Structure 1
Amino acid sequence: MDTGLLTGLLNPTIALALGAVFLMLWFYQRHCPYLAVLAASYWLSAAGFLLQYFTLPIGMAPTKLLSVTCFTIAASGLAGAIVTRYGRRVPFVAIGFLASGGLAAFCWFMFIQPDLTWRILAMNFAFGGLSLVVAAELRVVRDRGPAEMMLFVLSLLSGLNFVARTLVIVIAHGPYQSYDGFYASSYWTTALLSHALLSLLIALSLFCAAALDVMKTLKAEAYTDPLSGLLNRRGFEERATHLLRHCATAKLPVALVLADLDHFKAVNDLHGHAAGD
Structure 2
Amino acid sequence: MDTGLLIALLNPTIALALGAAFLVLWSYQRHRPYLAVLALSYSLSAVGFLLQYFTLPIGMPLTKLVSNICFSIAGCCLAGAIVHRYGRKVPYVGIGALACGGLASFCWFLFIAPDLTWRILAMNFAFGGISLLVAAELRPVRNNGPTEKILFVLSLLSGVNFFVRTLIVVIAHGPFTSYDGFYGSSYWTTALLSHALLSLLIALCLFSAAALDVLKALKTETFTDPLSGLLNRRGFEERGMLLLRHCASARFPVALVLADLDHFKALNDVHGHGAGDRVIADFAAKLRSAAGARGVA
Indicate the TM-score class for this superposition, using the shorter chain for normalisation: over 0.9
Q: For residues 153-207 of structure 1, give each alpha carbon's deviation from its aligned partner in whole angstroms, at most 9, with x where no partner exists.
A: 1011000100000000100110111111111110000000000000001111111
* Residue of structure 2 in register with 1:111 after alignment: 111
Which residues of 2 match residues 149-164 of structure 1 at below 5 A? 149-164=149-164
Secondary structure in structure 1 of the residue aligned to 2:140: coil
* Residue of structure 2 in register with 1:73 after alignment: 73
Alignment partner of 1:87 is 2:71: no
Alignment partner of 1:59 is 2:94: no
TM-fit CA distance, 1:252: 2.9
Q: Distance in 2 between matches of 1:166 and 1:103?
A: 17
Q: Distance in 1 between matches of 2:57 and 2:152?
A: 41
Q: For residues 79-131 of structure 1, give each alpha carbon's deviation from its aligned partner in whole angstroms, at most 9, with x where no partner exists.
A: 11111112222211111111111111111111111111111111100110110
* Residue of structure 2 in register with 1:232 after alignment: 232
* Residue of structure 2 in register with 1:246 after alignment: 246
Secondary structure in structure 1 of the residue aligned to 2:229: coil
* Alignment-mate amino acid for residue 196 of structure 2: A
TM-score when scaled to structure 2? 0.91
* Residue of structure 2 in register with 1:200 after alignment: 200
* Alignment-mate amino acid for residue 51 of structure 2: L
Which residues of 2 match residues 1-277 of structure 1 at below 5 A? 1-277=1-277
TM-fit CA distance, 1:14: 0.4
TM-fit CA distance, 1:249: 2.7
Q: Distance in 1 between matches of 2:273 and 2:64?
A: 66
TM-fit CA distance, 1:260: 2.6
- Relative to structure 2, which stretch is displaced further, 249-258 or 154-163? 249-258
Q: Distance in 2 between matches of 1:81 and 1:252?
A: 42
* Alignment-mate amino acid for residue 62 of structure 2: P
TM-score when scaled to structure 1? 0.97
Q: Distance in 2 between matches of 1:260 and 1:89?
A: 40
Secondary structure in structure 2 of the residue aligned to 1:114: coil
Identity among equivalent pairs (%): 79
Secondary structure in structure 2 of the residue aligned to 1:192: helix
Q: How many residues are matched?
A: 277
Q: Distance in 2 between matches of 1:248 and 1:88?
A: 36
TM-fit CA distance, 1:239: 1.0
Q: Distance in 1 between matches of 2:192 and 2:118?
A: 19
Q: For residues 48-89 of structure 1, give each alpha carbon's deviation from its aligned partner in whole angstroms, at most 9, with x where no partner exists.
A: 000111111211111111111110111111111111112222
The Cα RMSD (Å) is 1.1
Q: Distance in 2 between matches of 1:117 and 1:30?
A: 42
TM-fit CA distance, 1:258: 1.4
* Alignment-mate amino acid for residue 33 of structure 1: P
Q: Distance in 1 between matches of 2:261 and 2:200?
A: 56
Q: Distance in 2 between matches of 1:207 and 1:257?
A: 41
Gaps of 5+ in 1: none
* Alignment-mate amino acid for residue 151 of structure 1: L
Gaps of 5+ in 2: 278-297
Q: Distance in 2 between matches of 1:176 and 1:118?
A: 9
Q: Distance in 2 between matches of 1:216 and 1:84?
A: 18
